[in-house]
């Protein structure tokens, strides 16, 4: 098994380290400034190959990788580039492609089906290309510096036509997949109506964050299911997580990953989310949200 990680500008994509851990540390970085990206890996690696091939060219990369990889199980992170490359490589190699996996072993792949209501274990009879959902918690060990020297790999890119990129626009926090969001403002049962989530979205957008919610809120149809954070929703991996009126049930917190900074606003000072927080604000989440909205130029009465 090998993790193939597409790299842009020397930056590892979301889900890269989970894919590396799932592949037991056998890794190939492909793209631009891959040596720089390799230095940012913080999980243990068994082997590390570096393919410096320049800017993202999915068609050319897929053909080059097809000629380099043998019959191993290939694991891509569930990043945008990973989701683009995986089916192309599967087609180029004549292999099955399993998307959105939660777990990969040498003998089976676990994938959610029927709107994530069922987990299906697909036995593997041979090689396969898999995309692993980003934001999954992993039991990877910290990498010991200098234990595995990277090996440079020469991949010859063909003249395969690729889409021409005219412009790369910044991500819109309002529509960004929550798994890719680095800043998240989320609301729970402590917010007293659907209008509060309109306000929450405005406040989040004003600081470049995305809006999420707990299961009780999506069950009430106050926000769409795709905004639900937790084990029965989306598993996320933000750097900053701000929770408004969220108690911190395990089904929710298990889907948070390990945010570097957590801020919790809740009137219950003893709830689990307050205990997890780097900054715990004991206050009415509705009033705090209205005040933030007002300070950012909104109408506190909204």
Q: What is the pLDDT of residues 37-69, one digit of tens each?
A: 999 998 889 999 999 999 999 999 999 999 999
Fold match between domain 2-152 and domain 178-295: yes
Compute the average pLDDT of residues 111-126: 86
pLDDT at residue number 179: 84
- What CATH number does the domain located at 2-152 have? 3.40.50.620
- Of 1, 10, 57, the C-alpha closest to 29 is 10
- Of 183, 185, 141, 218, the C-alpha closest to 285 is 185
Indicate the class that CATH gives domain 178-295.
alpha beta
User: Is the confidence at residue 108, as pLDDT, over 50?
Assistant: yes
pLDDT at residue number 25: 93
pLDDT at residue number 300: 43
Angle at 111 between CA 109 and CA 115, to 5 degrees: 175
269 vs 300, which has greater pLDDT?
269
Q: Residue 131: which pLDDT band, with cuts at 50, 70 and 90?
A: very high
141 vs 71, which has greater pLDDT?
71
Cα radius of gyration rounded to whole Å, the chain: 21
pLDDT at residue number 196: 96
User: Is the confidence at residue 106, as pLDDT, over 80?
Assistant: yes
Q: Residue 114: which pLDDT band, with cuts at 50, 70 and 90?
A: confident
User: Is the confidence at residue 301, as pLDDT, over 50?
Assistant: no
User: Is the confidence at residue 145, as pLDDT, over 80?
Assistant: no
Q: Residue 143: which pLDDT band, with cuts at 50, 70 and 90?
A: low
Q: Global pTM?
A: 0.75
User: Is the confidence at residue 140, as pLDDT, over 70?
Assistant: no
Q: Which residues contact 110 (CB under 8 A, 6 or more apart)?
A: 101, 102, 103, 104, 119, 120, 121, 122
pLDDT at residue number 142: 54
pLDDT at residue number 139: 43
* Whole-angstrom distance, CA of residue 70 vs CA of residue 89: 12
- pLDDT tens-place string over residues 249-271: 999 998 898 899 999 999 999 99
Q: Which residues contact 64 (CB under 8 A, 6 or more apart)?
A: 51, 53, 155, 156, 157, 158
pLDDT at residue number 274: 97
Compute the average pLDDT of residues 166-188: 89
Helix (H), strand (E) counts: the chain: 9, 15
- pLDDT tens-place string over residues 190-234: 999 999 999 999 999 999 999 999 999 999 999 999 999 998 888
Domain boundaries, the chain: 2-152, 178-295
User: Is the confidence at residue 167, as pLDDT, over 90?
Assistant: no
129 vs 158, which has greater pLDDT?
129
Per the prediction, the chain carries an average pLDDT of 91
CA atoms within 13 A on the CB side of 275: 8
């Amino acid at each position: 098994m090998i993790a193939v990680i597409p790299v842009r500008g020397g930056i590892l994509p979301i889900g890269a380290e989970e894919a590396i851990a799932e592949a037991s540390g056998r890794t190939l970085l492909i793209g631009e400034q891959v040596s720089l990206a390799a230095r940012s890996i913080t999980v243990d690696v068994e082997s590390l190959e570096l393919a410096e091939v320049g800017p993202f060219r999915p068609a050319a990369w897929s053909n080059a990788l097809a000629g380099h990889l043998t019959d191993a199980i290939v694991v891509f992170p569930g990043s945008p580039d990973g989701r683009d490359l995986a089916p192309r490589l599967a087609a180029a190699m004549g292999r099955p492609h399993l998307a959105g996996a939660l777990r990969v072993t040498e003998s089976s792949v676990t994938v959610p089906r029927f709107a994530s209501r069922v987990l299906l274990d697909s036995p593997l009879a041979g090689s396969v290309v898999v995309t692993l959902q980003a934001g999954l918690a992993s039991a990877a060990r910290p990498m010991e510096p200098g234990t595995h020297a990277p090996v440079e790999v020469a991949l010859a890119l063909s003249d395969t036509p690729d889409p021409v990129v005219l412009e790369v626009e910044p991500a819109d926090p309002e529509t960004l997949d929550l798994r890719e969001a680095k800043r998240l403002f989320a609301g729970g049962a402590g917010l007293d109506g659907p209008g509060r989530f309109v306000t929450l979205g405005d406040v989040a957008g004003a600081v470049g964050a995305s809006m999420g919610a707990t299961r009780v809120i999506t069950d009430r149809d106050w926000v769409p299911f795709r905004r639900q954070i937790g084990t029965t929703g989306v598993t996320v991996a933000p750097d900053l997580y701000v929770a408004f009126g969220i108690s911190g049930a395990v089904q929710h917190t298990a889907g948070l990953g390990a945010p570097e900074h957590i801020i919790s606003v809740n009137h219950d000072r003893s709830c689990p989310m307050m205990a997890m927080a780097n900054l715990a604000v004991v206050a009415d989440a509705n009033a705090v949200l209205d005040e933030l909205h007002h300070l950012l130029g909104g109408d506190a009465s909204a």
